[in-house]
Structure 1
Amino acid sequence: MTEQKFTEQISTVAKFIQIYCDNNHAKAQKSNANLELIYKNTSLNQSVNYNLCKECEHLLLYANERLQNCPHDEKPKCRKCPHICYEKSELKFMVKVMRSSGIKLGLSKIKSLFQR
């Protein structure tokens, strides 16, 4: 995986988790922080800003760790990966987050088309 692909992947995951957290944990106490992007022990001089509850922050940091350690040169989609590196509980939560956020993103894109 290239540095650009890694940045793209972690930014997308962060966006999905943020949408999920905003919609499902609106009243939870959240921490606003930056995730410094490091890939293969090299700082990318970029960061991802987030405002997440503890549960969602844990998932983002977990996903970041897994992406950093992905053994594939050409990273497949996680659901099609022959060697899933997520623990079962985190995988279930991530699937839930992706499904929920994907629907929200799709609906917001459709809504923006009709507002033009």
Structure 2
Amino acid sequence: MTEEKFIHDSKTVLKFIQCYCDNEHFKIKKSKDCINLNYNDKDLNEKIEYELCEKCEETLNYSYVKLQECPHDEKPSCRKCPRPCYDKREWKLLAKIMRYSGLRFGILKIRKKLFGRFEKSA
């Protein structure tokens, strides 16, 4: 996997986990932190900041480690991977998070398009 793809995938998984945490764990205390991205023992000079509850932060860290360890040159989606590296429990949790957040992002995209059309015609 290229460094650019690694950065993109790291930011994407954070975006999905952040959306899930913000909507599902809004009453739980969250802490601000960041990850300094490293890939193949190389500092990428890239930081990703987040504000997550403890459980979601554990999920993010787990996902980040698995992403770093991915053996594929051309990384498939984890759902289509011939050799999944996630533990079954973690995989199910991340699948739930991705479904939840993907639906939210899809709805936001549709709303923007609809309201954009109404604003243009007004």
Q: Sort the TM-score into its range (normalised by shorter chain).
A: over 0.9
Structure 1 residue 114 displacement after superposition: 1.6
Work out the CA distance in 1 between the residues paired with 2:70 and 2:42. 15
TM-score (norm 1): 0.98
Corresponding position of 2:119:
none
Matched, 1:103 2:100: no
Work out the CA distance in 1 between the residues paired with 2:110 and 2:34. 30
Structure 1 residue 44 displacement after superposition: 0.5
> Identity rate of aligned residues, in percent?
49
Structure 1 residue 115 displacement after superposition: 2.0
TM-score (norm 2): 0.93
Corresponding position of 1:55:
55
Structure 1 residue 72 displacement after superposition: 0.7
Q: Highest Rg: 1 or 2?
A: 2
Calculate the aligned-residue CA RMSD, in Å.
0.6
Matched, 1:86 2:86: yes
Structure 2 segments unaligned to the other structure (5+ residues) = 117-122
Structure 1 residue 32 displacement after superposition: 0.6
Cα shift readout 1:78-102 (whole Å, capped 9, x = no counterpart): 0000110001110010000000000
Corresponding position of 2:67:
67
